[in-house]
Structure 1
Amino acid sequence: MIVAGFGFRAGAGAASLRAALDGAGRGLPPVTLIAAPDDKLALLAPLAEELGVPLAGIAPDALMAVATPTRSAASLAARGVGSLCEAVALAAAGPGASLIVSRFIAPDRMATCAIARGAFS
């Protein structure tokens, strides 16, 4: 399983989300799952539909249990995790998952994406 995990600001649009995914996923196999925090899941539905992949929401307690290599002060203040997109990708990919690509920031800085591989992929 190849998971694209997202973090993004409330004002992020489809172009920001797509740019984050394209930047993070460049040269990788296609993603098989898109994930975001539960409260932001609806904003990713059009992208998941476009790609024909399922969408997964991750609960806040699951995110806080994930250690991330990136440590963003903004992410720590807002969500209690070092990198929201990395935590989402790792949590969605399941136990033993690893990051393939750490946090990639969209050029407009409205969205971030990280890519994780599930342990059983």
Structure 2
Amino acid sequence: MTGRLVAGLGLRPGTSEADILACLDEALAIAGLSGEGTPRLATLSSRIGEPGLAAAAASREAEIVFVPDEALKGFEAACATRSTRIASLYGVGSVAEAAALAAAGPGGTLVQPRITTARVTCALARAAL
């Protein structure tokens, strides 16, 4: 596998670091990537300032990429899953998948469709380079 791994996250306001990391670790395990670093976390721009997200990124030494809502729409066709509620809010079937792909950059590929826990969704993409 080439290119860095990116975790796309969908999270509710006020979500804790522990909840975010648990979902991320579960996604990595399902994808057979346990122990692989995720140097980039991506989510909605509206989640800027979320303390749980900042703490999760700091604990994993990861960069956070905040993707504008409008930019997610360009990744609708590449999303493997679809939530009707999320589609009505953001115009894309999965915030986690679209954010992961957006942050992976051109040629990025989805390697793990979103998984869902009570407060977090997580999907994994790999950058082309």
Fold conserved (TM > 0.5)? yes
Could you tell me the TM-score, scaled by structure 1's length?
0.91
Quote the Cα distance in structure 2 between the aligned partners of 1:70 and 1:47.
25
Aligned residue pairs, count: 118
Task: Point out 4+ residue stretches in structure 1 off by more than 6 angstroms.
Answer: none
> Structure 2 residue aligned with 1:65, among 58, 68, 74?
74
Matched residue of 2:92: which SS? coil
**Cα offsets for 1:54-88 (capped at 9, x unmatched):** 11111112111112111111211221110000000
Q: Secondary structure in 1 aligned to 2:75?
A: coil
The reply on whether 1:112 has 2:121 as its aligned counterpart is yes
- Unaligned 5+ segments in structure 1 are none
Paired amino acid for 1:93: A
Q: 1:93 aligns with which of 93, 99, 104?
A: 104
Residues 86-107 of structure 1, C-alpha deviation per residue, up to 9 Å, x if partnerless? Answer: 000000000111111100112x
CA distance in 1, matches of 2:17, 2:57: 11
- Equivalence for 1:45: 54
Q: Helix, strand or coil: the match of 1:62? A: helix
Identity of aligned residues (%): 37
Question: Quick one: distance in 1 between partners of 2:17 and 2:61?
Answer: 16
Computed over aligned residues only, the root mean square deviation of the Cα atoms, in angstroms, reads 1.2
**TM-score, normalisation: structure 2:** 0.85
> Hey, what does 2:21 align to over in structure 1?
18
